[in-house]
Structure 1
Amino acid sequence: MPDVIRVGGLLVATPLLEDPNFRRSVVLIVEHDGSGSTLGVVLNRPTEIEVTQVLPTWGGVVTGPSVVFQGGPVQLDSALGLASVRGDREEPLGWRRLLGPPFRLGAVDLDAPPEVLAAEIVSMRVFAGYSGWSAGQLDSEIREGAWYVVDALPEDAFSGDPSRLWRDVLRRQGGELAFVANCPDDPTLN
């Protein structure tokens, strides 16, 4: 199971996952170390807080919706930026690759001056907090049926309609997972 979890991959909550922090969530894995500790951000939980309210200098760089997303239940007072950058240039300062060629998705140093990166950024989102798992915890949750592990597309991190991301990611998998995308919010009403 540890080989399945990788930086740049997606965790998609199965209908069995009832934890309100992760119900029907899509999590992009941004760190996974040799000991099995994993860190990710929930891609489909926009808040109503405008980026300009918390990071005014980045407000003009963020692409819509220009709100802060709740990246997970851990350290909600911290922020993480994700951005795709132009593919025809060197990697810009203040940006660390998560998904490699041909995709250019990475983490942004929010302490850097936005003008250093602004011309290179194609799309960007800001996340408050993150999702974290200690060594072995995520492996266990996957074995218990809480998560599907699938490949990410660069546009997943910047979905124009985050409320549809869970269904959209499952549908494109085909087979059984495409069928799961149609699972009603409350199966007892089916």
Structure 2
Amino acid sequence: MAEAIYVGGLLVATPKLDDPNFRRCVVLILEHDATGGTLGVVLNRPSDIAVTDVLPTWDALVTGPPVLFQGGPVQTDSALALAAVPSGQEPLGWRRLHTGIAAVSRLGTVDLDAPPEILAGEIAQMRIFAGYAGWTAGQLEAEIGEGAWYVVDSEPGDTFHGNPESLWRAVLRRQRGELAYVATCPDDPTMN
């Protein structure tokens, strides 16, 4: 199943995954290498921290809700930004991921101190994530094999979904066959 993991794809937590860091989360894969591991950000975990409290100059460019998102449990003191680039060009210091989504060039070298006016005309939407999700080589494949994750295709609206808390159900609901039924699973499966 390792071939199913790809940059731009989604990892959707199965109801079986009860790790509080990933319970009912949707992860966008940003990097994947069979020998180097996998890196992604959780798309559906908005925090209570307003972007203006941490990065006030970027607030005007952030797509609602205007808060930092919890990108994952790794390096939560670092920031990563994702943006939709409608023009098809790569803004300075960013690299294209897939279908019009760009990410800051490298984790740890993010320059969110740069003037946001430089990017204002080049991006349509943006979200800022604190931390990221990471797996060593083979770790994610093992978790998929244990039934912890579904690997599905992403759609353009997933990264900037208007109601992030509903993204898990929305992604599952649009799948074919039995996987769509998982969207109806109650928050507490023992209550079923």
TM-score range, shorter chain: over 0.9
Match of 1:179 in 2: 181
Determine helix, strand or coil for the equivalent of 1:158: coil
Q: What is the 5 A alignment of 1:36-51?
A: 36-51=36-51
Aligned length: 186
Q: TM-score, normalised by structure 2?
A: 0.93
Determine helix, strand or coil for the equivalent of 2:39: strand
Q: Which runs of 4+ in 1 moved over 3 A?
A: none
Determine helix, strand or coil for the equivalent of 2:65: coil
Match of 1:5 in 2: 5
CA RMSD of aligned residues (A): 1.2
Match of 2:116 in 1: 114
Q: CA deviation at 1:2?
A: 2.2
Aligned partners of 1:82 and 1:126 also within 8 Å: yes
Q: Does 1:140 align with 2:139?
A: no
Match of 1:94 in 2: 93
Letter in 1 for 2:22: F
Aligned partners of 1:11 and 1:29 also within 8 Å: yes
Letter in 2 for 1:96: R
**1:123 & 1:175 partners in 2: Cα distance?**
32
Deviations 1:19-43 (A, max 9, x none): 0000000000011124150000000
Determine helix, strand or coil for the equivalent of 2:187: coil
Deviations 1:42-78 (A, max 9, x none): 0000001011111111111111001000000111100
**1:185 & 1:84 partners in 2: Cα distance?**
31
Determine helix, strand or coil for the equivalent of 2:3: coil
Determine helix, strand or coil for the equivalent of 1:98: strand
Query: Unaligned regions of 5+ residues in structure 1, if any?
Result: none
Aligned partners of 1:31 and 1:39 also within 8 Å: yes
Aligned partners of 1:80 and 1:127 also within 8 Å: yes
Q: Does 1:59 align with 2:59?
A: yes
**1:189 & 1:34 partners in 2: Cα distance?**
39
Mean alpha-carbon deviation: is it higher for 110-119 or for 45-54?
Answer: 110-119
Query: Unaligned regions of 5+ residues in structure 2, if any?
Result: none
Aligned partners of 2:90 and 2:102 also within 8 Å: no
Aligned partners of 1:79 and 1:126 also within 8 Å: yes
Q: CA deviation at 1:106?
A: 1.3
Q: TM-score, normalised by structure 1?
A: 0.94
Q: What is the 5 A alignment of 1:142-181?
A: 142-181=144-183
Mean alpha-carbon deviation: is it higher for 76-85 or for 34-43?
Answer: 34-43
**2:100 & 2:163 partners in 1: Cα distance?**
21
